[in-house]
Every structure is written in structure tokens, then in C-alpha cells.
Amino acid sequence: MRGEVIEIVREMPAATVPRAPKDTTDTKENVAGMDEAKVKATDEVATEAESTVEVDAAGDDLSRSASERTAMPDGAISGEDKGDEQVDQEPSDVARAAYEHPFIVRLCHWINLVALFVMVGSGLQIFRAFPSFGAKIPQKDLLHWPKAFAIGGWLGGALQWHLTFMWIYMATGVLYLGYQILSGNYRQVLFTHRDVHGVWPMVRHYFFFGPRPQAREAYNPLQKQAYTSAIGLGVLSVATGFAVWKPVQFSWLAWMMGGFHYARIWHFAVMWAILFFVLGHLIMVILHGWNNFVSMLTGWKKDPEY
């Protein structure tokens, strides 16, 4: 269902002429997974039972004969190729929507938004207990992080939040990765060598007033790079976290990072990298408008750029 594109029309005025059954058009069938029939917005349709217009129904629409299912030809806008019945319909009343984000992706996104917020907040409170990466004697603090921007109130409280939410954070990450891999959905967002050449044009467009490259897919190369990196950073935050939490039982992991003392530095650095990503992400979300934002809530993006 991901990648499915539909058209949305406003409700047809009552004067619409009911159509005679059409021949199925000659063009390609819908993309795989869309074998159910979608009904045009006619009066007839409006009185049909709900089940006949389920977007994600598994089976065929039994109340509609096969001849009434149509596949739109490539690039056709409404009104064309329809013959006389559609002459009243205005093309401007039709919008398109693409199903971009499957349920599990959205679920994990919003859960880990909360979990990450708690991890960062409580992590900073933990940091406040020894805001240094040097020796205890003499202690030289790196930076003073205000208590007001931390979660937990004190070291003990912060550890409770951190050691509780880390399980939520990890479980959600595993669910997300598992789903992406097993469903194949990772393909739309994973940064590969094929995307490398597309990064600079996007950077030039966003930051240096370059022309807007044509959108061909749900995620542009720069986005793919950002989101792939973000997942990598998430994994690193867990790995460095384990090295800090259990430097003896995970001594091999800690050793790879230079030992407990350095693992703590990496853990802190990875947090800042993630925060940098979050900042960029929020700016991009704001810049790309309401429909784009809503797609992470409902899965559907109205008026996709591609």
C-alpha cells in the first residue's frame, strides 16, 4: 500500500449524469496491491455501502462489475478520456494523495519522539552530576547545563527516567528497523551509492539558492542521507550507552570505543549529533508545509511533489 496514489475529488453536485458502464481502459493496471475497486464520486456511489469504497480493503469490490473499474492512463487528469459523462467535472477539484508512511513507521516516529526527548533531557541531568570529561581531581567542568532544561531534577531521578525510557527507545528502534527491513519499505529511505550524486543539487537548492531538482520519489537524496544517518546515530546512541552502563559486561564494546572514559565522551557527542539532526529535521518539516506534516500522522500526503 505504501506508494499508492489516489485521486480525491470534492463531492459531485447532484446534477451529475449517472454513467453507463464503461469498458475497462486499455492502459496498465494499478500498481501491485491495489486490486480493490475504487468508486467514482457519483450519486450512485454515495448511496453504496461503505465497504465498497474501502481504500485498503483486501478483496475486490463485489458490488461493482469489472467493467466499471478503470485504471487511469499515465498522467491523465480527470476529464480527459472519459467521454461525455465527465464533461461537468472540473479538473481543479481533483487532488492527488500518496500513501507515504506505513502505520508502524508513524507509530515508531511518535513514540520515539517522546522517548528521545526524555532520553536527552534525563541524559543532560545525569551529565550535570559530573559535567566534565576529565579527571575528578582536579575537576574542570566542560559546560554548565541548566537544570531547567533537564529532566529528573537530580541524578537519582534522572537515572530512573533514563533507565526506564531506554527500553522504550530501544524496543521502538528494533520494531522500526525490523519492519523496514522485512517489509522492504527501507528502500524508499535508505541512502545508497546511487543517491550520492543527488546530494549536492539538494544542498545547493536548500542553502545556496540553487534550482529545485525535480522530485522523482518520496525521499530526495539529501533526505535519504539525513534519515539514514539519523538511524545510524540512534544505533550508536544505544551502543555507546551500553558501553557506559555496563563497561565490564560489554568490555569488548567499551574497548572499541577506547574504554569507559571515552565511551562516555562518545555517548555525549552522539547525543549532540542527534540533536543537530533533529534541528534540521524540524526546520525542514516547518518549511515543507502542512500536507507534508500531516503525512506523518495519517500516512497520506496530499499533493505530493512527484
The interface with another protein within residues 171-230 (CB under 8 A) comprises none
Single out the residue of 123, 129, 115 nearest to residue 149, CA to CA: 123
Please report whether residue 37 would count as binding another protein according to CB under 8 A. yes
The residue within the footprint of another protein, chosen from 25, 30, 188, 229 (CB under 8 A), is 30
Single out the segment in contact with another protein by CB under 8 A; choices: 80-88, 200-208, 277-285, 293-301. 293-301
Please report whether residue 297 would count as binding another protein according to CB under 8 A. yes
- 165, 203 contact by CB (below 8 A): no
Cα–Cα distance list, 207 to 204, 224, 287 (Å): 5, 17, 13
Q: Which is nearer to another protein, 205 or 302 (CB)?
A: 302
278-290 burial, b for 16+ CB within 10 Å, e for fewer? Answer: eeeeeeeeeeeee
3-state secondary structure of 172: helix
**# chain residues binding another protein, by CB under 8 A:** 80
The interface with another protein within residues 109-128 (CB under 8 A) comprises 110-111, 114-115, 118, 126-127
Q: Which is nearer to another protein, 115 or 222 (CB)?
A: 115
The interface with another protein within residues 2-21 (CB under 8 A) comprises 3-12
Single out the residue of 47, 41, 45 nearest to residue 90, CA to CA: 41
Cα–Cα distance list, 276 to 20, 188, 194, 253, 284 (Å): 58, 23, 25, 25, 13
3-state secondary structure of 246: coil
The residue within the footprint of another protein, chosen from 51, 63, 65, 164 (CB under 8 A), is 164
Tell the smallest beta-carbon distance from residue 258 to another protein (Å).
Answer: 12
Secondary structure letter of residue 111 according to DSSP: H
Q: Which is nearer to another protein, 61 or 225 (CB)?
A: 61
Here's the x/- map for another protein, 88-107, by CB under 8 A: it reads as ------x-xxx----x--xx
